[in-house]
């Protein structure tokens, strides 16, 4: 076979290859496209109906019906100290050696017992005015008194003798005047000796508690030496230092009270009897004194108590639980119930008393204040009232 024939014989075979390739590729492409189309259709989300928002369940709350108080005392307490009404220091007026202590002149009730008349006086027990506290030795003063008696009797007789002579004209007026003077001087000396002798028995000048007998038997006392100390506690002074912001509210004669810290006694009523006109420069406080009747004896000198004072008595005061108030960055707010929904109220607050706080503005009588559950609601939130109280106690 010639080369020309060989070429002519090979052409029909190479010309049939493209047709064969198209017969294989085109069906494959169509199958792949159909497959992709079916998958795309399958992946397409069917149209959905619009979703309705879920309904929020109402919040259970407890409310208080706001009711203003007709009257409320704005009070405050301060730490105070009990002081006796008076501390009387009894001193010797004459010199002498202390011989013995005194005794009671009458039966004296004391707590749950009676101290009998004639019993010796003891420190810490009551004494009455006039009870003898101590006795001083009288030997020297008794001798001086007897000499004064003798001198006075002599001068009295001498004066009467000269007076008789003067009346008969046998002596001059000068001699009579001299005799009268000597008689008067002797009488004064006798009175002095008598008083000194009497004052060897030192008696209680006032009633109270015999707080101390500082001298022992046998010690020598000179005028001015302290021999006894009496404290009056039937009436006491409760002393407190009041901050300057509260002083303008207080007046002499204003009622007050003293509250023992041990809780064993009820508050004791008293009256403000003194307000210092000058404040303490270091603490900026002012001393006040409350006089309290202490005949029952619950208060002792130096005891720490609370002074219960009143600034003012307010009218138509709205008080709400402090826990119902929600603090904000600027101000305070509460929630009330209106038409079954929570409504926000901005409030202005005053003083705090216990667990309550005064509302100056923002609430009115009859408002249904949410006191529990208020931190789970917002404006417009539907609420269900599970408990309602009328006002505050």
- What pLDDT, in 10s, does the model give residues 5-49? 444 444 444 445 556 666 666 777 677 777 766 666 666 666 565
Name the CA dihedral angle for 323, 324, 325, 328, rounded to a multiple of 10 degrees. Answer: 100
Query: Residue 82: pLDDT above 50?
Result: yes
Query: Residue 101: pLDDT above 70?
Result: yes
pLDDT on residue 78: 94
Query: Residue 152: pLDDT above 90?
Result: yes
CA nearest 359: which of 121, 20, 69, 15?
Answer: 69
Q: Break the chain into its structural domains and give their ranges.
A: 3-43, 61-71+315-390, 76-81+230-314, 93-134+205-223, 138-199
**pLDDT confidence of 137, banded at 50, 70, 90?**
very high
Query: Residue 60: pLDDT above 50?
Result: yes
CATH for 76-81+230-314 (3.30.565.10, 3.40.640.10, 3.10.580.10, 2.40.30.170):
2.40.30.170
pLDDT on residue 9: 46
Query: Residue 168: pLDDT above 60?
Result: yes
Query: Residue 148: pLDDT above 50?
Result: yes
The more confident residue out of 231 and 33 is 231
**pLDDT confidence of 309, banded at 50, 70, 90?**
very high
Work out the mean pLDDT of the chain and round it to a whole number.
86
The total of other beta-carbon atoms located within 10 Å of residue 248's CB is 8
Query: Residue 302: pLDDT above 70?
Result: yes
pLDDT on residue 307: 95
User: pLDDT above 70 covers what percent of the chain?
Assistant: 86
pLDDT on residue 57: 82
- What pLDDT, in 10s, does the model give residues 176-214? 999 999 999 999 999 999 999 999 999 999 998 999 999
Beta strand 304-321 with 268-275 is unpaired
In this structure, are residues 287 and 280 in contact, taking their beta carbons and an 8 Å threshold?
yes
Query: Residue 289: pLDDT above 90?
Result: yes
The three state secondary structure string of the chain is CCHHHHHHHHHHHHHCHHHHHHHHHHHHHHHHHHHHHHHHHHHCCCCCCCCCCCCCCCEEEEEEECCCEEEEEEEEEEEEEEEEEEEEEEECCCCEEEEEECECCCCEEECCEEECCCCECCCCCEECCCCEEEEECCHHHHHHHHHHHHHHHHHHHHHHHHHHHHHCCCCCHHHHHHHHHHHHHHHHHHHHHHHHHHCCEEECCCCEEEEECCCCCCCEECCCCEEEEEEEEEEEEEEEEEECCCHHHCCCCCEEEEEECCCCCCCEEEEEEEECCCCCCCCCEEEEEEEEECCCCCCCCCCEEEEEEEEEEEEEEEEEEHHHCEECCCCEEEEEEECCEEEEEEEEEEEEECCEEEEEECCCCCCEEEEECHHHCCCCCEEEEEEEEECCC
pLDDT on residue 83: 93
What distances in angstroms separate CA 176 from CA 33, 158, 179, one per listed residue? 168, 10, 5
Burial 162-196 (b: 16+ CB within 10 A, else e): bbeebeeeebeeeebeebeebbeebeebbeebeeb
pLDDT on residue 92: 95
Query: Residue 147: pLDDT above 60?
Result: yes
Give me the architecture of the 138-199 domain, per CATH: Orthogonal Bundle (1.10)
Give me the architecture of the 61-71+315-390 domain, per CATH: Beta Barrel (2.40)
pLDDT on residue 4: 45
- What pLDDT, in 10s, does the model give residues 274-287? 999 999 999 999 99
Rounded distance between C-alpha atoms, residue 183 and residue 160, angstroms: 10
**pLDDT confidence of 132, banded at 50, 70, 90?**
very high
pLDDT on residue 55: 66
The distance of Cα 362 from the centroid of its chain, to the nearest Å, equals 31
- What pLDDT, in 10s, does the model give residues 320-378? 999 999 999 888 999 999 988 889 999 999 888 888 999 999 988 888 999 888 888 88
């Amino acid at each position: 076979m010639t080369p020309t024939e060989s070429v002519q014989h090979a052409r029909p075979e190479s010309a049939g290859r493209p047709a064969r390739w198209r017969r294989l590729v085109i069906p494959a492409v169509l199958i792949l496209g159909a497959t992709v189309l079916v998958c795309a259709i399958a992946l397409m989300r069917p149209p959905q109906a619009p979703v309705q928002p879920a309904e929020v369940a109402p919040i259970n709350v407890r409310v208080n019906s706001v009711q203003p108080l007709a009257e409320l005392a704005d009070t405050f307490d301060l730490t105070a100290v009990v002081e006796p009404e008076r501390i009387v220091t009894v001193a010797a007026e004459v010199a002498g050696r202390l011989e013995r202590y005194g005794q009671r002149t009458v039966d004296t009730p004391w707590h749950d017992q009676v101290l009998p008349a004639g019993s010796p006086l003891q420190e810490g027990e009551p004494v009455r005015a006039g009870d003898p506290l101590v006795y001083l030795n009288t030997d020297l003063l008794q001798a001086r008194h007897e000499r004064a008696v003798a001198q006075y009797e002599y001068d009295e007789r001498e004066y009467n003798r000269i007076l008789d002579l003067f009346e008969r004209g046998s002596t001059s007026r000068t001699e009579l005047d001299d005799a009268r003077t000597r008689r008067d001087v002797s009488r004064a000396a006798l009175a002095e000796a008598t008083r000194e002798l009497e004052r060897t028995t030192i008696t209680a000048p006032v009633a109270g508690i015999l707080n101390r007998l500082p001298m022992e038997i046998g010690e020598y006392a000179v005028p001015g030496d302290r021999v006894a100390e009496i404290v009056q506690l039937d009436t006491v002074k409760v002393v407190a230092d009041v901050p300057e912001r509260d002083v303008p509210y207080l007046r002499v004669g204003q009622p007050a009270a003293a509250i023992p810290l041990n809780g064993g006694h009820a508050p004791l009523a008293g009256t403000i009897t003194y307000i210092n006109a000058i404040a303490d420069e270091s603490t900026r406080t002012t001393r006040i004194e409350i006089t309290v009747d202490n005949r029952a004896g619950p208060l002792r000198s130096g005891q720490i108590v609370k002074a219960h004072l009143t600034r003012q008595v307010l009218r138509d005061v709205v008080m709400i639980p402090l826990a119902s108030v929600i603090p904000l960055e600027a101000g305070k707010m509460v929630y009330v119930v209106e038409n079954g929904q929570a409504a926000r109220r901005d409030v202005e607050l005053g003083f705090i008393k216990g667990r309550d706080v005064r509302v100056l503005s923002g609430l009115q009588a009859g408002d249904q204040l949410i006191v529990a559950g208020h931190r789970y609601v917002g404006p417009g939130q539907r609420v269900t009232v599970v408990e309602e109280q009328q006002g505050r106690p």
